[in-house]
Amino acid sequence: MLYRFKSRAAAELIMLEPQGRRILAIIGKTPGADGIVTAAQIPAAIAALQAAVAADEERPPEPDLPDAAETEERAHTVGLRQRAAPFIELLRRSAAQDADVVWAV
């Protein structure tokens, strides 16, 4: 399943279900078949995503892996920063034009 995020301020953004659900949960929305982030909710959504990205990057290394293995694993993993960046940009453009962001599955 895919999440399709749309705004009249930017191009459509498509995410796979796991990433879309995670992004929606971070911004406090129920990951359903459709929904809306109103223009008034966008600043709080951006702040929540930025805080989640910072927390994700400060995550301590896994105790089961040696430091070198953890560093190597993180180097090849797509983190929350990369997943959230396009969505944050969509939110910023939408906020600049006072536009809502809607999604559908």
Residues 12-46: tens digit of each pLDDT: 999 999 999 999 999 999 998 999 999 999 999 99
pLDDT at 68: 57
- Mind spelling out the 3-state secondary structure of the chain? CEEEEEECCEEEEEEEHHHHHHHHHHCCCCCCCEEEECHHHHHHHHHHHHHHHHHHHCCCCCCCCCHHHHHHHHHCCCCHHHHHHHHHHHHHHHHHCCCCEEEEC
Query: Above 90 in pLDDT, residue 4?
Result: yes
* Average pLDDT score, the chain: 89
Domains of the chain by residue range: 2-104
